[in-house]
Amino acid sequence: MVIHIDDDQVRKLLPMNECIQALEDAFRSEAEGIGGSLVRQSLYFPGGRLRLMAGSAPGFDTFGFKTYGGGVNLLMVFSVSDNSLQAIMESRALSEIRTGAAAGLATKYMATEDSSVIGVIGSGPQAKAQVEAISFVRPIKRVKVHTRTAQNREPFAAELNDAFDLEAVAVETAEECITGSDIIVTVTGSRHPVFDAAWLSPGAHINAIGATTPGRSEIDEAAIGRCDVIVVESVAQAKAECGELIMAEERNTFQWSKAVELRHLISGIAGKRPSNESITLFDALGVAMEDMAAAGVVLKKATDQGLGQILPVESRSGGPTRIR
């Protein structure tokens, strides 16, 4: 039986705190050689592109792929146990939640314990997910919001105030947003750095979320140079897509040997903060294993609760397999 699970159902079945825990379990398993992701593939054609991400999270009995482009954003979720297709899942909401959860997970291991102020550059659903996730792992009291236009930042600050138990304020400049913030989130579509490295306070942690193609960069070389620890989900994918690190490496201000994979941070192999004064960076791109772990949580709940629309699709078991 194959079921279809829509975005509204995903939102109900995937609370942020559960997604953070699922990703932590998945990355810990990856550090043990169980599960993983292929580097995202992009197919360009006149007028658009199609992107494809494939991965596995055996601890959640899932493997499969996500594809998006042309207005479509779908996950094909298979069972590790018998190779059968289990669900076709809409993945806009899932992508939003798991991206926030990945940053929340990195923040849990990288930010100072007493971090209480977030500075967010950017607005919209993904920025909101970032604040929600970080608030689960640190005692956040205040959020400063900056966007290029006041008509975006004021309503977004009000939305955060309504949604969470914290004080959110709109600020007029990026400098005011970054100065004095314990945790900084950049989640924009900018192709150029959105703040000055000199504004970073000692001990700050940065979650750079928006620059997901080689030609985009939300943080500059000076900021990267100030970071004592730099974490990515996958070095292979970062080498292909992470604009700010690619540019810094090309200009000899960053070496890939300095990048720590999130699985090694979670497992304790590498990536510890040298001191409370250290500045740290999580440069996020999103990997398919995260999608599969999150999808495993959603699929189990949907199956247990009898949710999802049964599809007229025949799925035959291919027999058990070993996924690594």
| pLDDT tens digits, 175-194 | 999 999 999 999 998 999 99
322 has a pLDDT exceeding 50 = no
Q: Cα 254 from chain centroid?
A: 22
| Number of domain units in the chain | 2
Residue 323 has a pLDDT of: 42
Buried-exposed string 121-136: b where 16+ CB fall within 10 A, e elsewhere? bbbeebbbbbbbbbbb
Phi, psi dihedrals of residue 150, rounded to the nearest 5°:
-60, -30
Considering the domain architecture, whether residues 198 and 250 belong to the same structural domain is answered as: yes
320 has a pLDDT exceeding 80 = no
H helices of 111-149, where? 125-137
Residue 119 has a pLDDT of: 98
Residue 320 resides in a domain: no
User: pLDDT-derived band of residue 319, with 50, 70 and 90 as boundaries?
Assistant: low
Residue 315 has a pLDDT of: 79
Considering the domain architecture, whether residues 11 and 51 belong to the same structural domain is answered as: yes
Q: How would you class 93 by CB atoms within 10 Å of its CB: exposed for 0-12, middle for 13-18, buried for 19 or more?
A: buried
Secondary structure of residue 42 in the 3-state scheme: strand
Segment 199-249, tens digit of pLDDT: 999 999 999 999 889 989 999 999 999 999 999 999 999 999 999 999 999
Q: Do 52 and 41 touch, CB atoms closer than 8 A?
A: yes
Question: Hey, how many other C-beta atoms are within 10 angstroms of the C-beta on 269?
Answer: 12
Residue 318 has a pLDDT of: 65
Residue 316 resides in a domain: no
pLDDT, average across residues 2-18 = 98
Indicate which CATH number applies to the domain containing 149.
3.40.50.720
Considering the domain architecture, whether residues 15 and 156 belong to the same structural domain is answered as: no
Considering the domain architecture, whether residues 81 and 170 belong to the same structural domain is answered as: no
Distance CA 132, CA 50 (A): 30
The whole domain housing 228 covers 102-283
Distance CA 84, CA 65 (A): 13
Segment 79-92, tens digit of pLDDT: 999 999 999 999 99
Segment 92-130, tens digit of pLDDT: 999 999 999 999 999 999 999 999 999 999 998 999 999
Which strands form 205-208's sheet, in the order they lie side by side? 167-170, 142-146, 117-121, 183-186, 205-208, 279-283, 227-232, 259-261
Residue 271 has a pLDDT of: 83
Considering the domain architecture, whether residues 89 and 113 belong to the same structural domain is answered as: no
Strand ranges, E, within 218-278: 227-232, 259-261
Residue 314 has a pLDDT of: 82
Considering the domain architecture, whether residues 237 and 254 belong to the same structural domain is answered as: yes
pTM for the model stands at 0.95
Residue 321 has a pLDDT of: 46
Residue 317 resides in a domain: no
In angstroms, what CA-CA distances link 94 with 10, 186, 238, 282?
6, 20, 21, 20
Considering the domain architecture, whether residues 106 and 255 belong to the same structural domain is answered as: yes
Q: Which has the closest alpha carbon to 303: 15, 89, 34, 93?
A: 89
Indicate which CATH number applies to the domain containing 11.
3.30.1780.10
pLDDT, average across residues 54-71 = 96
Percent of the chain with pLDDT over 90: 88
Considering the domain architecture, whether residues 43 and 127 belong to the same structural domain is answered as: no
Least trusted range by pLDDT, from 266-275, 283-292, 314-323: 314-323
